[in-house]
Amino acid sequence: MGSFRARLAETIAHRDTILCIGLDYDPQLVPASVRAGARDEAAAAVAFNRAIIDATADLVCAYKPNLAFYEALGPRGMAALSDTVRHVPDGVLVIGDAKRGDIDNTMQRYAQALFDVYAFDAATVSPFLGRDALEPFLARPERGAFILCRTSNPGATEIQDLLVDGAPLYEVIARRVESWDTYRNTGLVVGATQPRELARIRDLCPETPILVPGVGAQGGDAATAAAAATKGGASALINVARQVLYASPGPDFATAARGAALRLRDLCNRARTR
């Protein structure tokens, strides 16, 4: 098995899409028809996710479940997460959005859980503790580590714009991640809500894959993000969640999700650099 960067590039080329769907099951938003037919919330999550995957798998290169939505449902929720990952067809990557960050021996367990137990192809992690903490993730060439750099939330500027030797912290992180990329398996997380910063980070890191959340409900523009993140033909994943998952509150939710995903797939493909 090759490096994660190579796997990602091959997946994008083969499937001709940079769309990633965030499988963030929210009981407050899921159609009532799904919950009515399930014995509990975890079973509803499985039914909903399977329907979304079946409706959209040919339009995406990856799915990205955020673990918080499943942890909140308890042990059965984590079983629902496993069931969801198993339902993703071969050839589509699955990214565990866990944002893990701790000392190295703890990170070894996080890597084991995310890669070996839940079988994610990649995971999101925090750079705050430095390279030694990330080494359990970086040392797996075939698995990806998407490292938080410039996030999509409004309060990101409080920390990520702090100056370090005259440069904002997010630029320092971007450059540092490039130096950590021994096995060609690192990536960056940069929000679509920060288009200028996204363009700057792509210029600083012309080959590093970028995972771009924040499109849709958070205010980011898919076409702008796709154009910036793929500059020079670099690999990127444009992540959408609520805009696709909850495109309809009715029993036609899967059909509506496919329609929304198709429009976004085509929009990103028109904007991206190949």
The residues facing 237 across adjacent strands are: 211
User: What one-character DSSP code corresponds to residue 199?
Assistant: H
Residue of 50, 99, 176, 242 with catalytic role:
99
d(CA 8, CA 246): 27
Question: Cβ contacts of residue 91 below 8 Å, gap of 6+?
Answer: 11, 14, 15
First to last CA, the chain: 24
CA separation (Å) from 115 to 48, 121, 263?
Answer: 24, 7, 32
d(CA 137, CA 102): 12
The tokens for 274 are 């190949």
Label each residue of 29-89 as H, E or C: CCCHHHHHCCCCHHHHHHHHHHHHHHHHHHHCCEECCECHHHHCCCHHHHHHHHHHHHHCC
**Does residue 64 carry a catalytic annotation?**
no
Query: What amino acid positions are annotated as catalytic residues?
Result: 99
